[in-house]
Amino acid sequence: MKVCGMTQLQQVAQLAALGVDYAGFIFYPASPRYVAGKIEPAALKALAGIKKVGVFVNATVETIRETVAAYGLEAVQLHGEETPEFIRSLNINAKIIKVFRLKGDEDIAGLTDPFEKEAAAFLFDTKAKEYGGTGQKFDWSALRSAVLGKSWFLSGGIGPKDITDLKSFLADQEVYALDVNSRFETAPGIKDMGLIEKFIKGLKGE
């Protein structure tokens, strides 16, 4: 599982203790979850036990490279209109997660194929006015028939009430990991850790 939009180091450590695989950090200045100035880069770099993902929206090569080095990011999530050529030019020591923002009726393979070589994983989020963290879902059924030769994250508005639907979707889909965010917040960037713990247990059927 990935929990995105973290802004407090203590909560990131709590996620690690819960066994969450990935923590996401928003490096998009227009987001209310913009992490710069909220977590000290060296402190995050030193924190072990969870993979750190930097989320960028149409950032420059220099910004991404500097941020990966400063915060010790293991992966970069490209949430904007980044092209395969742009990804090739990055040349960084971090996995690339390319985001596709969907309504649900798109030709998924047509969107993902150009990124087959450049991305380590895909993430499917909801197409909305804002780039991410909208709390809105898209129609997952388009993903049921998509043939994707790559690990992918399911994202977009996933919340505590979705456990039953998720269990049925995950039963016959090769979803690599779920990505959750605003539906588990008390305020933008502040997570309700109790809710996250309950959600993890609920998915495991505990």
Give min distance, CB of 77 to ligand LARABZUK, in A: 6
Nearer to ligand LARABZUK, 27 or 108 (CB): 27
Give min distance, CB of 85 to ligand LARABZUK, in A: 21
Nearer to ligand LARABZUK, 108 or 184 (CB): 184
* CA–CA separation, 55 and 76 (whole Å): 6
**Which residues are near ligand LARABZUK by CB under 6 A?**
4-5, 24, 26, 28, 31, 33, 55, 57, 79, 125, 131-136, 155-158, 179-183
| CB neighbour burial string for 75-105, b if at least 16 within 10 angstroms, e if fewer | bbbbbeebeeebbeebebebbbbbbbbbebe
C-alpha distances in Å from residue 91, one per residue of 56, 94, 142: 16, 9, 32
Give min distance, CB of 128 to ligand LARABZUK, in A: 8
Nearer to ligand LARABZUK, 42 or 191 (CB): 191
Nearer to ligand LARABZUK, 14 or 31 (CB): 31
Active-site amino acid positions: 4, 125
Contacts of 81 (CB under 8 A, 6+ apart): 58
Contacts of 151 (CB under 8 A, 6+ apart): 120, 121, 122, 176, 177
Give min distance, CB of 100 to ligand LARABZUK, in A: 12
